[in-house]
Structure 1
């Protein structure tokens, strides 16, 4: 009889312990690395694009460079408003470059996070952070990723951690903000990019054609709230 009472008590204690689990124990970590530019292998995750694909003359590079405080990514190049003479592309604007991640293997789920953070050292220009999610717009014969964009001002010559709430990312279609009530699905993210335009951006930022350069340490997802 005492043995039976002992088994019942042990079972009861185990049940109480299970019910007493803290909800925090079931939550993902408060932060999650998405990209870390501390290895040459990181270069395999990205590809570059610019207006040169359409007859423009801008150029960009992405390198992993050794600094005193370790390896960092360097996204740099030159922004030009000129176009190649006789180009077949009837482009209405030039002067842009970007680095876009190759599509994730499936997608990443950031539903438990509310903020994208980046550690950058820049040149005073305004950059554009883009998040790509699964498609909601289809053009004839071609599917386009759903894209969401937010400006990132990178102060000159100092390391800076920028934090962008996901709620600040606006829906865009080929670089233009869409005037529609849409909500991002952070559980179905397929890629990201960082780009720069010669014109536009936040007030007070450096703009215009010429060289650009931004150093990158990491990109994370945070749970700020």
Structure 2
């Protein structure tokens, strides 16, 4: 039975991980002259004059948030990878949006006549600056450090695009899933919790106090590489991974 809920916990964590590309939310300020006024995760001011109706996403995490809370007619473009079932959990919903951007040049994005662009911290700064120079509002999100950061980002995107109720419903749905996992596996003693080691194509990932580490804690799992000392500045060797004797390896399959 425990193995069943281990699998369930991993699946829930995996679905939430697909919503990354987000960060801490900012408070909306209303001044009568703008629909939204605030700052993004880089500290840049973002002013949206009216409720946006032609939103372009430049990050898969933003794709999936948009598809979860916005009607298709409010979305002008998504990234090309949102159609790939190997890394996207919203492929069915994405069919309703016709434009999927492979070419993310300023000219191609601007040609969609967006009234809001949602970017992530991996978006080239030159692209963000070029779009802003054209007068297009761009909100840049940083990678979240924990699940609460993800929920805060969903809330902020809801405010940005005028879909607060849908954002609140999505957050409530995901919190219910997490509560169910914690109810079923939360009483497993620390020393009995399975050790999980996750890999990206570049090697192990899941630094201490990062997003994946938080997911493991919520699912009553032990993040092996955090146990071995992986941080933003400290690497972990394969010998250290082997010494952990992990119960589960999470391996990438997407190419």
TM-score range relative to shorter protein: under 0.3
Larger RCO (CA under 8 A, 6+ residues apart): 1
* Larger Rg computed on CA atoms: 1
**TM-score after normalising by structure 1:** 0.28
The structure with the greater share of residues assigned to helix is 2
The structure with the greater share of residues assigned to strand is 1
